[in-house]
Amino acid sequence: MSTPPTETYALPQHHWALRCLPPLPASAARMLRLLNDSSAGIREFSDVISTDASFAWEVLRAANSPLFSLPYEIDDLFHAVTIIGVERVRGMVFVAALSSGFRHAMREQSLLACWKHSLAVAYLAAETSIGFHVDAGKAYTAGLLHDLGRLALMTAFPSKYASLIEQSHQDELEMCRLEEQFFEINHCVAGASIAAAWSLPVSLAEVCLKHHDDPLENPSPLLQNVVAANRMAHLLGFQPVFERRSTQEPTVLPNGVPGHLEESTALLHQRIDAYCLSV
């Protein structure tokens, strides 16, 4: 599936399938402004996050989860942001913006698998970022949010989305095709639309829109990074929906990318499963 450049693509702003989504919380909007302020420090980020209990809980939970495997417990938000990094925290904040309906949706195992896939792509993108000359924190955030449209659609329509996933596997149909039949929009366009509505960076909107494209067709190192991580996640067993390319090796793995990630597959599954138990 190939998509036009984000800046020339007419993204729907008020699509009916996205009307149930909450607006970007005020604390998340303030954090976004801080991210565009080069003089802002970690203390300012932690102060903004502390004004929203759900965001603060999400950051502390992540810092103490098996995903980071720290040898001690962190109970201070400033310390947590320092350990995790501002870029990773940004992704957590925007995911937390969908949190109430999102956690309800994950009672469905097939929808929980979608969230695990996003976590895996975030981890793999960060682990392989050096080979793409991308900051690991930015790669993690882009990987976490690459399926923002899918997370949104499954939050708004959990039962229907679960049935579409089942149909996708049974009939070996691409999920984008099924989404377009029912929602009149696919998760790629939905994600880019949400990113634009929330004033996220254009680079993240582009990742949402084009993460199924051939990485050779994309000049953006961040997008190439996420496309390869997405493919690797499928190969390592994080495949929530049917995708015809999912059994193909990533076409771009530059020098410097770890080639032994398969060896840690079981550990990655264990860490992500443990992280999701507390959701």
pLDDT at 11: 64
Query: In the predicted model, is pLDDT for residue 217 greater than 80?
Result: no
C-beta separation of 88 from 137 below 8 A: yes
Q: How confident is the model at residue 241 (pLDDT cuts 50, 70, 90)?
A: very high
**Same structural domain, 108 and 57:** no
**Same structural domain, 240 and 118:** yes
Query: In the predicted model, is pLDDT for residue 6 greater than 50?
Result: no
The residue type found at 151 is L
**Same structural domain, 108 and 203:** yes
Looking at residue 157, the DSSP 8-state letter turns out to be S
Lowest mean pLDDT, pick from 109-113, 152-156, 165-169, 261-265: 261-265
Rounded CA gap, 92 and 55, in Å? Answer: 8
**Same structural domain, 222 and 188:** yes
Count: domains in the chain = 2
**Same structural domain, 227 and 268:** yes
Residue 2 maps to a domain: no
- Spatial neighbors of 37 by CB under 8 A, at least 6 apart, are none
Residue where one domain finishes, among candidates 53, 77, 97? 97
Residue 163 maps to a domain: yes
Query: In the predicted model, is pLDDT for residue 262 greater than 70?
Result: no
> Which structural domain, as residue segments, surrounds residue 133?
99-279
Q: What is the DSSP string of 237-267?
A: T---S--GGGGSPPS---TTS-S-GGGGHHH
What number is the average pLDDT over the span 23-35?
Answer: 72
Residue where one domain finishes, among candidates 97, 123, 158? 97
What number is the average pLDDT over the span 170-182?
Answer: 94
Query: In the predicted model, is pLDDT for residue 246 greater than 60?
Result: no
**Same structural domain, 149 and 91:** no
Taking residue 152's Cβ as centre, other Cβ atoms within 10 Å add up to 23
pLDDT at 108: 85
What number is the average pLDDT over the span 211-217?
Answer: 78
Higher per-residue pLDDT: 9 or 209: 209
**Same structural domain, 251 and 180:** yes
Lowest mean pLDDT, pick from 56-70, 129-143, 226-240: 56-70
Lowest mean pLDDT, pick from 53-62, 87-96, 268-277: 87-96
Instruction: Residue count of the chain, please give it.
Output: 279
pLDDT at 160: 94
**Same structural domain, 79 and 110:** no
Looking at residue 71, the DSSP 8-state letter turns out to be S
**Same structural domain, 143 and 215:** yes
**Same structural domain, 67 and 202:** no
Q: Which two tokens stand for residue 175?
A: 């999920």
